[in-house]
Structure 1
Amino acid sequence: MLNNVSTAAQLLELRDAPIEKKLDYLIDHMAICDLIQRYGQGTDTHDFQLLRTCYGDYIEVDHSPTIGMGRIRVSADKWCSLAEKFHSQLDGDEHVMIPQSIVIHGDTASCRVLMHASHFYRDAAGSPYQTLVGSYDLKFVRSDDGWKISESVQSVSWTEGNWQFHNDIKNSLGTPDLD
């Protein structure tokens, strides 16, 4: 669609573009924002069928700061099953996600998402609260069903609270079958 590498540059390029091109860009931008919010909502409400709608068949993932495993390519079904096993053990999640600089190139797009995730685990040894702050670098592909997340790389800037219960839940998963 556009050739520039930032949202600001893409908007400048669109200034004199035909109305159809402007509308296409706005619709794509809104759809990607909606997808990011759906991702957080699915996780927070433990609606893992909703979470599954955020992905195509496979996803490249590197959430090393929180789950280890390095960079993997995994089926979206297995990824969502792992998310369900992890988050269903928590008594509460809240992900505040703020998309920054959505860049659209035809049928692909990228975006950095600021993330503030709070977790509550009533049965924790110690404080039941844990928060992490960081970002996701996401890549998207357009599909027949709309935009889908194709890659997610997590970075954590800082954490506070009881990190131990996070590790206890992660360790309770054993070695997940993600092949």
Structure 2
Amino acid sequence: LIFGIVFIFTTRREQWHLFSSNTCWESLLSSTRKESRDRAILSEIYANTLTSRFGQIIEDVQRMYKRCREVGVESHEELLKVLHELHTSMKTYHAYHSEERQMESKIKILESQKSKLEQSISSEKIQRLKKYNLIVKDLQKRQSKYNDSKLKSLKARNDYVLCLDAANAVVQKYYVDDLPDLIDVSWFFK
């Protein structure tokens, strides 16, 4: 009986290639083996070649990102430094200009006192008056101080104008050139 069952299976096995289901199974088996080989080759490529390349790409991107941040911080610090210089020169100019105005107002007060004395007293007696001589001396002293303060104010104004031009150039460069480039590059890293 066992011999008969074995004979039947062996005869059937010899004729299996004639059945379409066997052909389908053999085709499926060969395509699965081919796909398995292809996937093994891809696995080696991914494991060896691509991971090292992706590691290099990640390092490059991190280095570029760090450099872009450094450039952004540097340009922003430059902008803040120039604006601080502008603010300092503006404060200096305003201080010297207010000092000049105070001197000018004091000179006007002394000139009005002098003119009142000249109108009230005759020109012969006025030269002998001690008050008049003090006013004239004080007027000369204040006039020299006024000239000094006016010179300081003009120098401070020139410095302020130069700082204003420099600040405008840096602001223009920052907002027109640097900032759009940094924004474009930052979109790459998101």
Please confirm whether the aligned pair reaches a TM-score higher than 0.5, indicating the same fold: no
Provide the TM-score with structure 1 as the length reference. Answer: 0.21
Q: Per residue, is there more helix in 1 or in 2?
A: 2
Q: Per residue, is there more strand in 1 or in 2?
A: 1
Larger RCO (CA under 8 A, 6+ residues apart)? 2
Structure index of larger Rg: 2
